[in-house]
Structure formats: structure tokens, C-alpha cells
Amino acid sequence: MATDQGSINRVTLTGCDFREYTGDKVGGTTLYQNAGLSVRHGVAVEIHTGSKVLSVWDLATRIQAGRGAVIQIGTKPMLSTKHRSTSGAINHAVHVARVRGGSLGTPSEALVYDPAADGRDRSYHVATGPEWWPWSLVRECLAALQPWGEQDPRTLGHGKAYCALFPDTKPHVHLRAGATRASPFPDRTRVDAKEVWRHQTPHYGTANRVGAKPLERNELFTVYQRITNAQGRWAGNHDGDAWVTESKLRNIGGTQ
């Protein structure tokens, strides 16, 4: 759902697509496991877990700015509400598409797509999504996450968010210093080499690489900005944190 929104409906993937990509057929999957498939389809994913945990206020402002987010939650606070979707308190993940009302960093409500809210017939009420949740419930569910597993009583606690942020759907770019906006915007190019690594900055170097695997021939790389330096011409993504040397791309500027 987040990939669909973050690509403005250009990339539509199913849960089965992600399961097949991860190769994990038992239990739940992690944000990092699933992010790779989105990235391979040209949809940037920014993950915040562990030492990179995001504040709830920052999460809210990102969504208010137009970004979708997959948030990791504990479902215990939902069990006594009309938004209940699981039989008990478990770790879960839902997609927050947008928010409304309130003030900066503290919206009133969030539009939540819950994959468990499918209305199936059970002995208790099960919500059917998407639904508008009170932002207070979002905060409580974020705090109830058990990052060390459901058998460990420790929770993430208030004010923190484990989440994956997706591109906003407004036509803009976060330009790196010295970079210029791509034309056309964005520029949907393809890899024109057996493989090519993305880099955190427009410079070569093994330590500067992004991701566990290189992009392969014909894979999509969506260019939002460009920069030229002593190492050549580089194409960058929406946030300016993934760069590919333009010599390894084709379809530049919409050419075939």
C-alpha cells in the first residue's frame, strides 16, 4: 500500500510479491526485508528502527508534508476500540496514508490501512479498513510495540516510532548542494550495465554504497536531480541519498 501511494499508483505490488522477494514464509517480516523490493521498483524507503528511531512528532510532520508511512505497532491499545483487527495483543504493521486536523506535529486523525482489518467473520468485531484513527490511538499503538519480541514485556515507550517513510506525492525534490532539478521531472531511467551500485553521495567508493545488492540491467532508477563533479555526471533520487553515475543509465531525458 505504501509503495502504491509513494509511486502515485505506478507500482502496484501484492503481499505475495513481497513474500516471494524476501523468501521468508514463516511468521512476520521486517521493514528492512520488504524495503528492497520497493527500492528495486524505484520507490525510495527510509527506515527508522533501533538507533535510528524517529520521534512521533517527526513522524507526524513527515506525514503532514505528504509522505506515507508504514508504522510498527503493538495492537493492545486497539483491542477495546472499534478499530480492533486482531484476536489479541501482537506486534503488527499498518500503513498511514495521510493525516488531518490538529496542528503541526499533532494531527487529530490518521487514515490507516490495516491489512488485518478485512471484516472476516469472528467472535469479536473486526474493523474493515481503511479507517480514520484518532492520532492518540496511533501514539498509543506505537508505544505498545515490543521491539524485542512478543515474549519480552519491554515496549518501545511513548514518543518514539519504528517506521518506514515513503516518498511524498508532491512534485518536488530535496536538492543536494550543487545539484539541479532533473528534466523531465522526475526522469525515469533504466540501468544500462550488467549492474551498478547506488552511492550515498555522488562519489565512488565501496564504503559509500547503498543497499545490499547493486541494481541490475534494465532496472528502473527514477532521477530527481543531477550533479557534475570530478568523477563525472551523477543522477540522484528524491532525497539526494542514492546516486548512480549517469554513464551507466539509458532512457535519460525520456529518450529510448
Question: 2-168: which CATH architecture?
Answer: Alpha-Beta Complex (3.90)
Half-sphere exposure of 54 (CA within 13 A, CB side): 23
**Per-residue pLDDT for 148 more than 80?**
yes
Q: How many CB atoms lie within 10 A of CB 182?
A: 20
Each residue of 207-216: pLDDT tens digit?
999 888 999 9
Rounded to whole angstroms, the Cα distance separating 85 from 82 reads 9
pLDDT at position 65 is 82
Rounded to whole angstroms, the Cα distance separating 83 from 77 reads 10
Q: Would you state the cell numbers that stand for residue 32, as one nine-digit string?
A: 528492512
Q: How many CB atoms lie within 10 A of CB 124?
A: 9
Tell me the pairing of strands 209-216 and 195-199: antiparallel
For the chain, domain boundaries = 2-168, 180-254
Alpha carbon 90 to its chain centroid, in Å, reads 22
pLDDT at position 255 is 64
Q: What percent of the chain has pLDDT over 70?
A: 96
Of the candidates 205, 206, 199, which has an alpha carbon nearest to the alpha carbon of residue 234?
199
180-254 has which CATH code?
A: 2.30.30
Each residue of 205-252: pLDDT tens digit?
999 998 889 999 998 898 999 999 999 999 999 888 899 999 999 999
- Sheet hosting strand 249-250, strand order edge to edge: 220-223, 187-191, 249-250
Rounded to whole angstroms, the Cα distance separating 11 from 39 reads 11
Contacts 24+ apart (CB under 8 A), 195-201: 196/244, 196/245, 196/248, 196/249, 197/244, 198/237, 198/242, 198/243, 198/244, 199/242, 199/243, 199/244, 200/241, 200/242, 200/243, 201/176, 201/243
pTM of the model: 0.66
Each residue of 10-46: pLDDT tens digit?
888 888 888 888 888 888 888 999 998 999 888 989 9
Each residue of 158-200: pLDDT tens digit?
999 999 999 877 667 888 889 999 988 888 899 999 999 999 9
Alpha carbon 32 to its chain centroid, in Å, reads 10
pLDDT at position 231 is 94
Residue 111 near residue 132 (C-beta atoms within 8 A): yes
| Fold matches, 2-168 and 180-254 | no
Distances (CA, A) of 9 to 19, 20, 63, 171, 176: 20, 21, 18, 14, 27
